[in-house]
């Protein structure tokens, strides 16, 4: 049925851990963005070509179709607006309903969190780009608030669920996984503690294989994979906190 004078839109904050804009060399004693050496959490945005707020950056999304449910609309908008057709995890965040959140007819936004794993590299349109989630450009309307809400949801779920499966490759070393957590949480993470906690909770499992040695040689690093490829609660009372 028609939505009358109120427009219902669906927006998705799509995150991926990608190479940092100014990475530093591993082992030089310095840390890059958010305490990570090479990676940071990025969000996918497209630039508005028309008013209102021409030139600002928006989350992919659009009007809910009369014959769609919310998730179907979110996936369609990702495919049509930014050519992202698969996400490893998609979940509803919240509803933003301030009567004045956008000019003109009232628009209520149902928002989603989408995650793309590290090895994927979607071919995005020219008006679309990945931006550091910790340093957003000029954002359209309340889309910056949506991004921050999505970041907080992701960071919280990293504490008590296995949601990092949606950011990680199929197989990974603990140093790679540590980089993912570091980038998504926004602070440094100890590799040994991370391995101990995730192994104890049954979140990750050793594959029995090792990564190929680097140019400097040394003992090959063990490879792991996530035990499950769907979201589950691992410790409902857990909390990962920044080092004091």
pLDDT value for 32: 52
The per-residue pLDDT for range 50-104, each reduced to its tens digit, is 999 999 999 999 999 999 999 999 999 999 989 998 899 999 999 999 999 999 9
The whole-number average pLDDT for the span 164-175 is: 96
**Average pLDDT estimate for 123-145:** 96
The candidate with the shortest Cα–Cα distance to 85, out of 165, 12, 184, 180, is 12
Q: What is the pLDDT of residues 104-120, one digit of tens each?
A: 999 999 999 999 999 89
Neighbours of 143 (CB within 10 A): 25
Q: What is the DSSP letter of 115?
A: E
Q: What percent of the chain has pLDDT over 90?
A: 76
CATH code assigned to 7-226:
3.90.79.10
Domain regions of the chain by residue span: 7-226
What is d(CA 36, CA 183) in angstroms, rounded to the nearest whole number?
A: 6
Predicted local distance difference test score (pLDDT) of residue 5: 81
172-182: pLDDT as tens digits: 999 999 999 99
């Amino acid at each position: 049925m028609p939505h009358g004078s109120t427009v219902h839109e669906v927006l998705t904050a799509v995150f991926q851990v990608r190479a940092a804009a100014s990475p530093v060399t591993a082992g030089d004693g310095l840390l890059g963005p958010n305490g990570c050496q090479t990676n940071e959490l990025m969000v996918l945005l497209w630039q508005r070509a028309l008013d209102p707020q021409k030139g600002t950056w928006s989350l992919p999304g659009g009007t809910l179709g009369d014959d769609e449910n919310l998730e179907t609309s979110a996936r369609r908008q990702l495919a049509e607006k930014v050519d992202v057709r698969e996400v490893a995890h998609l979940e509803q965040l919240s509803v933003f309903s301030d009567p004045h959140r956008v000019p003109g007819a009232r628009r209520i936004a149902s928002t989603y969190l989408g995650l793309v794993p590290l090895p994927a590299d979607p071919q995005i349109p020219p008006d679309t780009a990945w931006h550091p989630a910790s340093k957003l450009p000029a954002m359209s309307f309340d889309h910056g608030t949506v991004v921050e809400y999505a970041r907080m949801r992701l960071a919280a779920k990293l504490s008590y669920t296995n949601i990092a499966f949606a950011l990680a490759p199929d197989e990974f070393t603990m140093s790679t996984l540590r980089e993912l957590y570091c980038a998504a949480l926004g602070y440094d993470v100890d590799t040994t503690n991370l391995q101990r906690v995730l192994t104890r909770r049954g979140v990750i499992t050793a594959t029995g294989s090792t990564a190929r040695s680097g140019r400097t040689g040394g003992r090959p690093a063990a490879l792991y994979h996530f035990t499950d490829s769907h979201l589950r609660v691992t410790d409902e009372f857990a909390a990962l906190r920044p080092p004091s």
